[in-house]
Amino acid sequence: MTELHRFDLRARLSDASLLREAALVGSRWIAASKSGLAVTNPSTGAVIGHVPDLTPADAEEAIAAAALAQKAWAARTAKDRGQVLRRWYDLMMAHQDDLAAILTAEQGKPLPEAKGEIAYGASFIDWFAEEARRAYGDIVPGHAPDKRILVLKQPIGVVAAITPWNFPNAMITRKAGPAFAAGCAMVLKPASQTPFSAIALAVLAERAGLPAGLFSVLTGSARVLGAVLTASPVVRKLTFTGSTEVGAQLYAQCAPTIKRLGLELGGNAPFIVFDDADVDAAVEGAIIAKFRNNGQTCVCANRIYVQAGVYDVFAEKLAARLSTLQTGDGFAPGVTFGPLIDGKAVQKVAEHIADATAKGASVRLGGRPHALGGTFWEPTVLTGVTADMAVAREETFGPVAPLFRFETEAEVVAAANDTEFGLASYLYTRDLACSFRVSEALEYGMVGVNTGLVSTAEAPFGGVKSSGLGREGSRHGLDDFLELKYLCLGGIE
């Protein structure tokens, strides 16, 4: 990209040292050179700064530093590790505004939403600062008079993490929190479009007292650095958040070294509104579930199924409510919907709408690029959507709400489950029996009942089928970074 113009992010920060044009390799900060990789503001295309294009040797150095630091870190008490995490949490919240400004500059989401992500991201550090001390083992009744059985939980060791651009803070802390709490080390490769949020987290981690070498942040070619991380036998776990396509590729790359895997992949969430639902509540829930981060989340409502009795009123209310919300630059006051991340994302949205209308859908609202041009798109509502359209099968990852009409519960459960994905799902009904019947029948890792937002550190986040493996957050999240060790004590007469 030619450097059209620069965006002066430092001028917006209270602590400009958080914006560091460098990568962290073990305990070494490596500054970007003039040939570094440009990071741009998705709203304007302006250059925010540069990061270094690291080499395979840099990645190997980070892994070696992690292996060394991890041994001493695991030897510290869980309470001690928790106290360092607590200090990291306190620093994140003390710098919430600056971290949010960095996030909005490189990812585009409106500043209030970015501040919300910082608090959400920090909540995983808060949660696992406490969970660190609950890695309980077992003492099991022996299988012979002279035997005693102990089960220990020990950290997996060195963890590689690869994260996406859509939540450039929270997708990192949702992995780093349990990893460090368990006594692991982490080598992180953040998304190339949003590295500065990750680098700022590393700056604060150093200040919190995280030992040198325990946390590296690598920037550069995903393919090149990913190849080193997945091939290294020192790396005992890969935790990845991103597309199912890349997740499957990384799964295969990890196979020769039999790594533990955590995969948070793509979604195709159904959002079901029954005739007996509170329609106003369902509209508010749909706006959160569909349009949070301008539709760029893996748990976004990708298909909205509305029962025939309330279909028209729901469509009318949704369109009316959306018309009151503003699209624009994430730093502009009053903006609810920011830009899409890049031109490729805009093209996918346009293709999905064109495909749907060509097959008979109608545009109830929006349906075209926003007057601001570039990466901005009008919030869109499509009606008359059917299962043969691309929006039914593919993740749109943009501000498009396709409304499907249905008649019966059996029909909508079958339709909702007719996908390779199984991450999040949502339903609105005031009938308790219906809420249980449908929740239990939906083939998904998460179900929101009368709510459009399920993500929280206290609950296990994750999916089934092509949406991934493992869970992040909750008391279960720590186990994904621990190994069980069985001690059999004999000769105890």
Ligand X SMILES: NC(=O)C1=CN([C@@H]2O[C@H](COP(=O)(O)OP(=O)(O)OC[C@H]3O[C@@H](n4cnc5c(N)ncnc54)[C@H](OP(=O)(O)O)[C@@H]3O)[C@@H](O)[C@H]2O)C=CC1
* Residues at the site binding ligand LO4QSZO4, with contacts judged by CB under 6 A: 164, 166-167, 170-171, 297-299, 455, 461
**Position of tokens 């996406």?**
164
Q: Which is nearer to ligand X, 217 or 412 (CB)?
A: 217
- Return d(Cα 278, Cα 289) in angstroms, integer: 16
Active-site position among 131, 264, 395, 409: 264
- Return d(Cα 122, Cα 126) in angstroms, integer: 6
191, interface contact from ligand X, ligand LO4QSZO4, none, CB < 5-8 Å by kind: ligand X
Residue 467 CB, nearest distance to ligand LO4QSZO4 (Å)?
Answer: 11
First-to-last CA distance in the chain?
74
Q: Which is nearer to ligand LO4QSZO4, 67 or 300 (CB)?
A: 300
Q: Which is nearer to ligand X, 192 or 439 (CB)?
A: 192
- Return d(Cα 449, Cα 445) in angstroms, integer: 13
- Return d(Cα 117, Cα 103) in angstroms, integer: 9
Residue 428's beta-bridge partner residues?
Answer: 273
φ/ψ (deg, to 5) at 159: -115, 135
143, interface contact from ligand LO4QSZO4, ligand X, none, CB < 5-8 Å by kind: none
452: tokens are: 């459009």
Residue 42 Ramachandran class (φ > 0 left, ψ -120 to 50 alpha, else beta): alpha
- Return d(Cα 179, Cα 210) in angstroms, integer: 12
- Return d(Cα 66, Cα 156) in angstroms, integer: 12
Residue 293 CB, nearest distance to ligand LO4QSZO4 (Å)?
Answer: 7
165, interface contact from ligand LO4QSZO4, ligand X, none, CB < 5-8 Å by kind: ligand X
Give the number of residues written for the chain.
Answer: 493
192, interface contact from ligand LO4QSZO4, ligand X, none, CB < 5-8 Å by kind: ligand X
Radius of gyration in angstroms for the set of CA atoms belonging to the chain, rounded to a whole number: 23
455, interface contact from ligand LO4QSZO4, ligand X, none, CB < 5-8 Å by kind: ligand LO4QSZO4
Nearest Cα neighbor of 236 from 214, 259, 254, 256 is 259
Residue 428 CB, nearest distance to ligand X (Å)?
Answer: 23
DSSP code, position 391: H
Residue 444 CB, nearest distance to ligand X (Å)?
Answer: 12
Q: Which is nearer to ligand LO4QSZO4, 39 or 171 (CB)?
A: 171
Residue 227 CB, nearest distance to ligand X (Å)?
Answer: 7
21, interface contact from ligand X, ligand LO4QSZO4, none, CB < 5-8 Å by kind: none
Residue 289 CB, nearest distance to ligand LO4QSZO4 (Å)?
Answer: 10
Q: Interface with ligand X by CB under 6 A: which residues? A: 162-166, 189, 191-193, 222-223, 226, 241-243, 246, 249-250, 264-267, 298, 395, 397, 423, 468
Query: Is 407 among the catalytic positions?
Result: no
- Return d(Cα 209, Cα 122) in angstroms, integer: 16
Closest-by-Cβ residue to ligand LO4QSZO4 is 455
* Neighbouring C-beta atoms of residue 38, cutoff 10 Å: 16
Q: Which is nearer to ligand LO4QSZO4, 49 or 242 (CB)?
A: 242
Any idea which residues carry the catalytic annotation? Answer: 264
